[in-house]
Amino acid sequence: MKNIVAIPQLDPVPMRQWLLLGFGLLIASSYLFPVYWMVVSSLKTASEVNAATPTMFPHEPTLNAFRWIFERENIGRYLANSFLISGGSTALTLLLATGAAYALSRVRSIWMDAVLVGVMLSQVLPPPLLVTPMFVIFRQLDLVNTYTAVILATTSKTLPFAVIMLRTTFAQIPIEIEEAARVDGSSRLMAFLRVTLPLARVGYIVVGSLVFLQAYGEFVYPVSLMNKQSMQPATVGLYGFVGADYSDWGNAMAFATVMVLPVLIIFVALQKRIVSGLTSGALK
């Protein structure tokens, strides 16, 4: 019997490509070494962390540092505050950005162009330079030491970014789809809610997560606009740990590890979409 079924022979990956992969793995793992070092340090005993000769793996892995930060450092309260501030900022940002981004994607006029340039310019003003007037203004409004002040200040940082990114998302949805729904008798609101918004779902997930992460990492506004420790988010909590000259590094790294966990979860879940969202939206 002759074998008539030809087995498709895949081209073997050439040697050169294996070498490229090997070196690429080396680049990525040395780049990510600080993340590894953070996690490993959090799992060591206090004496191993402070040993003069660092160990690459924990010899006696322990969760003592984590127990310490939950029981003594109240990391739970810091995280709850972080989620409250970043959740509030994300909701406010998306609420405001939706209308502006949609209008900017559907109407072309000199006014809309002017607004877009204004939004792009306001995106670049860094919090450390804006915090002095913000503090004085919120002080006069008696809003210092409130979550409201921090949420409003943080939203001023995330809103321009969200408008620009969501505008790109809406621009990719053909206007014809909306018009078809309108011909069928939908009002503009219904066409937007039933047709456009579901199509923009992925864009909202990406922009929403990036806005959330930016707000989650914000430090300057909470530390300057609130002085009650019980209200502070995790960034300020971590600063309390490492800002001093002497630091308790095992516990500090446990704090940092727990704090990074939500970031890593969002990153793993959305990595591909964030990469493509950034490359299509950030420079356009």
Partner 1 sequence: MTDRSSLRYRIDRALDSVWIWPVLVGATVIFLAVFIGYPVIYNLVMSFQEVNVGNLRSMNRPFVGLANYVKLLDDPLFWVVARNTATFVVGNVVLQCLGGLGLALYFAQRFPGAGWLRGVILAGWMMPPLVIGAVWKWMLTSDNGVVNFALQSLGLVSSKIYWLSDPAMSLISVMVANIWFGLPFNMILISAGLAGIPQDILEAAALDGAGPVRRFFSITLPLLAPTLYALVALTTIYTMRAFDLIWTMTHGGPVDSSNIFPVWSYRLSFEVFDFGTGAAISSAMLVIVFLVALVFVRSVRAESRV
Residues numbered 159-188 forming contacts with partner 1, rule: CB under 8 A: 159-160, 163, 187-188
Write the binding mask 69 to 108 for partner 1: x where contact by CB under 8 A, - elsewhere: ---------------------------xx-xx-xxx-xx-
* φ and ψ of 84, to 5 deg: -65, -50
CA distance 213 to 84: 13
115 vs 197 by CB, closer to partner 1: 115
Find the length of the chain.
Answer: 284
Residues numbered 3-32 forming contacts with partner 1, rule: CB under 8 A: 13, 16-18, 20-21, 23-25, 27-28, 31-32
Q: Which of 126, 176, 184, 230 is close enough to bind partner 1 by CB under 8 A?
A: 126
Output the six-digit token pair for 221: 């506004």
Q: Which of 46, 72, 155, 197 is close enough to bind partner 1 by CB under 8 A?
A: 155
140 vs 230 by CB, closer to partner 1: 140
- Nearest approach in angstroms of CB 19 to partner 1 is 8
Please state, as a whole number, how many other Cβ atoms lie within 10 Å of the Cβ of residue 96: 15
Q: Give the closest residue to 194 by CA, choosing from 206, 176, 177.
A: 177
* φ and ψ of 80, to 5 deg: -60, -45
**274 near partner 1, rule: CB under 8 A:** yes
- Nearest approach in angstroms of CB 5 to partner 1 is 27
2 vs 272 by CB, closer to partner 1: 272
The CA distances from residue 219 to 34, 159, 180, in Å, are 21, 17, 46
**118 near partner 1, rule: CB under 8 A:** yes
CA angle, corner 216, sides to 213 and 222, nearest 5?
A: 145
